[in-house]
Amino acid sequence: MTSFFAWRYFRSKRSTNAINIISWISVVAIGVVTAALVVVLSVFNGFEDLVKSLYADFYTDISIAPARGKWISDANAVLARVRGQEGVLQAEPVITERAILVESEDKSIAWLKGVPASYANMSGVPAHVGRGQFALGTAEEPSLVLGGGVENSLQVLAGQHLTPITVYLPNRAATDLSDPLSALLSANAFAAGSFSIQQEFDHQYAFTSIDFLRYMLDLPAGAASAVEVATRPGTDVEAMARRLRQQLGSAFVLKTRYQQNQALFAAMQMERVIIFSVAFLILLIAAFNIISSLSMTVLEKEKDIAVLQAMGMAPKRVARIYLKLAALLSGVGAGAGLLLGLLVCWGQRQFHWVKLGGNSFIIDYYPVAIRWTDLVLVAGIIAAIALLAGWLPARRAALVHFSLRTAGR
C-alpha cells in the first residue's frame, strides 16, 4: 500500500509547479553524478590495470633479498628451497648494480641488472623489446639490453650500433675511492636491444648477463643481489610469500609485487577514495533538493495524510510513503545514470571515442575497465543518500495532524 501511494505521488503533478521542477532537478543531478562517477571510476580502473600490467612485466611475483647487507652469499641454497615449493613456476638469481654507461661523449647512469638467459622465460621485458633482441651475451662477450631512455641518452640505435658501449662499475677491492681510476672498473659491451615499458624503467635500467656482472664485481659463483620468483597462474602469491618467510627466516626480506611498489598502489587507492569523497559531497547537494521537494510535498498532501490517518494508517506507515518516494526519486536518477555511464564506457571500449593527446603513450585512447564492485558501491552510496534525504520529510509527515472538519468549514 505504501509503495502504491509513493508511486502515485511520484507520477502525479503537484499543484505548485516549483515542486515538480525541484524534484526533476534532483533526479537529473543524481543521474548526472552517477553517470560521471561510473565513467571516471571505469577510466581510473583502466589506467590502474594498464599500470599494473606494465609493472607486472618488469617486476616478478616475489623478490627475496638479504635483510642485512647487499648480497645473498649462497643464492643456490635459497633457489633450491624456493624451487621445491608447490606453485613456483621459476626462480632465478639476479645482480643489480649502479653503472655508468659511456658511448663517445654521451653517458648515462643506470641500474645494470644481471640476469641468466632463462630469465626471459619468467619476465615480460622481452615482449617490450622494440629494437634488436633480448640478448645478454656472456661474461667474455657481454651484451646490453637498454631501456629506451638510456638508449636515447647514449644516442645509439640498439642492435644496429657498431661501436661498443663502455661500462663502468664500482671496484669492490678499491681502497682509495677518491681516485676514479682505481674506484671503477670498465669493460666494453654492445647494445643488443632496447625495451620500452614505462618511463620509470626506460630511463633507469639496462639488462646484461649475470656472469658478466659477477666477473666485474669479483663475486663468488653463488652470490646474488636477490632471488626473483614467478608463480604459476592461480597461485595465491600472498600465501606463498608468507610460507617462504617462515621457511627462510629473518635473514631475508620477501616482497610481493604489490609490496615492491607499495607507494604507487597506495597512491592509487587514495585517488579512488578522493573520487568517492567528491562524488559523495555532490550527491549530498542533490539530496538537499530531494529534502526540499519532499518537504513541500508533505505540506501539499496534508489533507491526504489526514485521510489516511482517519482510515487507520499508522504514522510509521505514513512516514514509509515518503521514504519510498525519496527512494524512487534517487532510484530513477541512479538507474538512468548507471545506464548512461555503462553505455558511455561500452562505447569507449568499442570505438575509442576519447583519444589521449600526444604520441608518447602506449595506447592512444582512454582505457576503460568496468568493475561490478564499483557499481555496487555507487548504488550503496545513493541508497544511503536517499535514506538520509527522506528521513526528515518522512518524520514530518508522521507528525502531521490535520483536521478534516476544520478544513471543510
Looking at the predicted structure, is the pLDDT value of residue 408 above 60? no
Distance CA 90, CA 119 (A): 9
| pTM score | 0.77
Integer Cα distance of 389 and 33 in angstroms: 16
The more confidently predicted of residues 78 and 5 is 78
More confident residue, 315 or 203: 203
Using the Cα atoms of residue 289, residue 9, residue 38 and residue 365 in order, give the sign of their dihedral. Answer: negative
Q: How confident is the model at residue 402 (pLDDT cuts 50, 70, 90)?
A: low
100-122 average pLDDT score: 96
Q: Work out the pLDDT band at 409, boundaries 50, 70, 90.
A: very low
Q: Where are the domains of the chain?
A: 2-55+264-408, 60-259
pLDDT attached to residue 66: 96
**Other C-beta atoms lying within 10 Å of the C-beta of residue 203:** 16
Tens of pLDDT, residues 224-272 = 999 999 999 999 999 999 999 999 999 999 999 988 888 888 888 898 8
Residue 104 neighbours by CB under 8 Å, 6+ apart:
155, 163
pLDDT of residue 233: 93
pLDDT at residue number 231: 96
For residue 139, the model assigns a pLDDT of 95
Among 24-28, 147-151, 309-313, the range scoring the smallest mean pLDDT is 309-313
The better pLDDT of the pair 31, 359 is held by 31
How confident is the model over 352-394, as pLDDT tens digits?
999 887 665 678 899 999 999 999 988 888 888 888 888 888 8
- Report whether pLDDT(396) > 80: no
Among 99-113, 121-135, 291-305, the minimum mean pLDDT is found in 291-305
- Higher-confidence residue of 175 and 342: namely 342
Alpha helices in 146-261 (DSSP H): 148-154, 180-183, 199-202, 210-217, 237-248, 257-260
